[in-house]
Amino acid sequence: MQADIFSTLQDSYQKGIFSLPTVFYFSVDDIKKTLTLDSEGCLVQDGKTVEDADCVCKTSTEMFNRIWNEGYRPGVMDFMGGKIKSNAPQLLQQFLQAFGK
């Protein structure tokens, strides 16, 4: 189900949230995607295409779907408990804004 979400991102991207190129790497169970967001659009690539992403997010399919489809906003305990692992949680909030979430 999350693969379908990634396939629609380019169409729902809202320009203006990211002025500089920002790279996100998502590892959602077996799905691995690298996304580059900038002032012009969103590039989605399969796999890990960069060594050091600005934001890495590792989580389960269940958590990803809750966030994307149900509007759930993770709290500190989700990160501390390991349900979501990220090196830049603040960028994840900005990421959601860029897609009207």
Tens digit of pLDDT at every position of the chain (101 positions): 456 889 889 899 999 999 999 999 999 999 999 999 999 999 999 999 999 999 999 999 999 999 999 999 999 999 999 999 999 999 999 999 999 98
Residue 3: the pLDDT is 65
Contacts of residue 51, Cβ cutoff 8 Å, sequence gap at least 6:
none
Neighbours of 13 (CB within 10 A): 21
Which domain range does residue 16 map to? 2-98
Q: What domain count does the chain have? A: 1
| SS3 sequence of the chain | CHHHHHHHHHHHCCCCCCCCCEEEEEEECCEEEEEEECCCCEEEEECCCCCCCCEEEEECHHHHHHHHHHCCCCCHHHHHCCCEEECCHHHHHHHHHHCCC
Residue 2: the pLDDT is 59
Residue 83: the pLDDT is 97
Residue 4: the pLDDT is 82
Residue 5: the pLDDT is 86
Q: Could you tell me the CATH number of the domain that includes residue 57?
A: 3.30.1050.10
Question: Which burial class, exposed, middle or buried, applies to 95 when counting CB atoms under 10 A from its CB (0-12, 13-18, 19+)?
Answer: buried
